[in-house]
Structure 1
């Protein structure tokens, strides 16, 4: 029986979504182990900084203080040094001042004031859009996954402006003008967006046709698993008590809380592994397995994904496909197979540090590689879905994965058109081909 224990409070898989306890569906509640501070980890490792490197740092610090063209504030210079310490590690390791850490935490609850977009800050200070959130001002204004926000209200974004998305936040009703660089456009776009109080409904559902249901999961937050179970119950009731099949739409879902993805996988699995995480520190190692009970009673499942499906979305896709529970349809996923731990500092700030990789039930890491669908859908001229060339592997300084650098292949049938949901439904209805007996004997 796989070990199933809660992850530490600070383990997260999305680039900017917050913390959570990873409990499987039928596990009894338990308190997570305390999250160690950065100082405690340093003491535990008994690591010493080489004296020559300390001297090098002090020499550069003094040179800046004495000779830079303008006076530099000590606190600002030290914060710049800390950000630089994390900059070359990977795109997801960042320094979080207390206000940013609080904002980071707030998003798990699915309510905040802003435009409704998941972003990743680039080394030069610009903001790369992972995905706009469904039914938010950003999506309505036409912001797309892969867009690069280079200026806000005419002010260029710079590396020293801060680590998170403060320029996009603001009072409901206020407007913000975004300068956006988009692949394929000759010049930057000017997009005006009105801020709102964003209440993210993470799960929505409807019937596609009698017996066949559709659930859209926009992100994985604190109440997503409960919303999934509630919406699934509604669909089953509409279908007369039992669904014949279910399409789960994870397109442009940037991820979020690991525990939500684990619980939804457990809702649909009767047994088997779900996900494991492995790193250098003991709190990073965990393995999660399914408990008996499939809420769909074995009805077929199709997962709809694209290049904006990241992190916890990939955990769910990997768990269901590796266990033979679902087929994956769409385009290659983002490829974020790393886990971040938020380490609190004694001054109230935090360091969000990549501490582990996660592995699908088959033991594969998809870091910088992603999940290749069983059936590949190619967007038509309508440009539906996220850019297929936007992925973890395209981010500067990304953590290398087991298959990093390998050429991608489009496994499965290629279907043209923008009717992705209709195509997913067609795949859902198609029986799963069983291997011939001779092939089974050769295994």
Structure 2
């Protein structure tokens, strides 16, 4: 989809630029004064340069330039050397070139220059799944089901989804021409101007009267704010206090640490949320609740699975340790490390692991994951057809109910399809939530 970043790393980003406790920094930070050595550590005396290793490095570089089958320039060799330095540290440390750095910024901010179309592939063509409200696509009248057959005159048939998305994204203010086919009719052109697209990371709805569902797809800078709005909307749609909430963190790869902290803060009134430990003073952080619980302490179930990583695990671990939610599903991914993004010159950056995080009870979930309170594996739901049984209320001349209330004859109407109808884990979570609501007297 257009609003999904191609960057699929499970990076939990504390956007610290040499310790600035803010969200992801889009601009290179000014040089910071060196931090004092933590108490009990050796003085920060610079070690002598490893001259022998540097000589070996220079010799290898010269040999490659002289003997490799094709010419290789210095820039390529040096960039590859930098990538090698980072990639061999751990799976989450990396050197980010301009494109990868820009994608990470888009992923954490949820903003990019584009058209506002969710797309899919069908029979080799790019198909519009849905235009996003209040975007160039929706304003131009693009409809779900339209086929995009050309982008700026170039046919899309045979292109990958990534190629098509790349062509539709671009600089804000630039024009782009899409050739569409609607309902098998004649192709027609639509000229659009790229704008800033704000992707929402939170979706919410009522599953049944009294039971709210919040799904977080990833943790972006504004995710905490979006969860607050989702809770307010669920209360408004329900017309009264909710009976319970399901927080769905399945297949959520993580994101910004501060957003995870803000999300937990919406569900608890007090206590520790998460803390981090690392070698440098700036990596020693503690985050606690501010007392602004917006969930009204209603019963809660958090859904996780093997695709729940990083920031998702911080949220699930905090809710589990604080006894705020029943965690249900399967064991999470197990990424318990924190990455700091350090911008460099020329729109590049280093993403390096600087700390481990711990749940309120002091658990490190690194390479182990969050174990759910109740394990529920993914399964298919097969609905059997109910027989058309006659009820007492269907019989002619039946007696009325002396306690009052309307008769309830056999119903012939079909209920509206809901997410829990074909999602076994969600259906189980809703059943548990109903039980918790009953036993809590709500």
Instruction: Return the TM-score normalized by structure 1.
Output: 0.63
SS in 2 for 1:329: strand
* Alignment partner of 1:356 is 2:364: no
- Name the residue aligned to 1:277: 276
Q: Deviations over 1:313-364 (max 9, x none)?
A: 1111111110010111111111111111112334542111111111100111
Shift in alpha-carbon separation, 1:429–1:36, aligned structure 2, 3 A: farther
- Name the residue aligned to 2:425: 420
5+ unaligned residues in a row in structure 1: which ranges? Answer: 1-12, 23-28, 118-133, 141-152, 156-164, 176-195, 383-416, 435-443
Q: Deviations over 1:43-91 (max 9, x none)?
A: 9662444222112211211111111111111100100111111121111
1:96-115 equivalence runs, <5 A:
96-112=96-112
SS in 2 for 1:310: coil
SS in 2 for 1:169: helix
Contact 1:110 1:200 in 2 (8 A): yes
Instruction: Return the TM-score normalized by structure 2.
Output: 0.64
* Alignment partner of 1:169 is 2:174: no
- Name the residue aligned to 2:80: 80
* Separation in structure 1 between the aligned mates of residue 322 and residue 279 of structure 2, nearest angstrom: 27
Shift in alpha-carbon separation, 1:36–1:334, aligned structure 2, 3 A: farther
RMSD over equivalenced CA pairs, Å: 4.1
Q: Deviations over 1:394-418 (max 9, x none)?
A: xxxxxxxxxxxxxxxxxxxxxxx94
- Name the residue aligned to 1:265: 264
Cα distance, 1:205 vs structure 2: 1.0
Q: Which has the larger radius of gyration?
A: 2
* Separation in structure 2 between the aligned mates of residue 39 and residue 349 of structure 1, nearest angstrom: 21
* Separation in structure 2 between the aligned mates of residue 373 and residue 31 of structure 1, nearest angstrom: 30
Shift in alpha-carbon separation, 1:154–1:211, aligned structure 2, 3 A: closer
Shift in alpha-carbon separation, 1:36–1:311, aligned structure 2, 3 A: farther
SS in 1 for 2:266: helix
- Name the residue aligned to 1:70: 70
1:144-155 equivalence runs, <5 A:
none
* Separation in structure 2 between the aligned mates of residue 338 and residue 30 of structure 1, nearest angstrom: 17
SS in 2 for 1:430: helix
* Alignment partner of 1:312 is 2:311: yes
* Alignment partner of 1:230 is 2:226: no
1:23-422 equivalence runs, <5 A:
46-112=46-112, 169-172=166-169, 199-380=198-379, 418-422=423-427
Candidates 10, 13, 16, aligned match of 1:15? 10
Q: Deviations over 1:385-438 (max 9, x none)?
A: xxxxxxxxxxxxxxxxxxxxxxxxxxxxxxxx9422111111223349x9xxxx
Q: Deviations over 1:276-333 (max 9, x none)?
A: 0111111111001112232222211100111111111111111111001011111111
- Name the residue aligned to 1:161: none
* Separation in structure 1 between the aligned mates of residue 107 and residue 118 of structure 2, nearest angstrom: 10
Aligned pair count reads: 323
SS in 2 for 1:208: strand
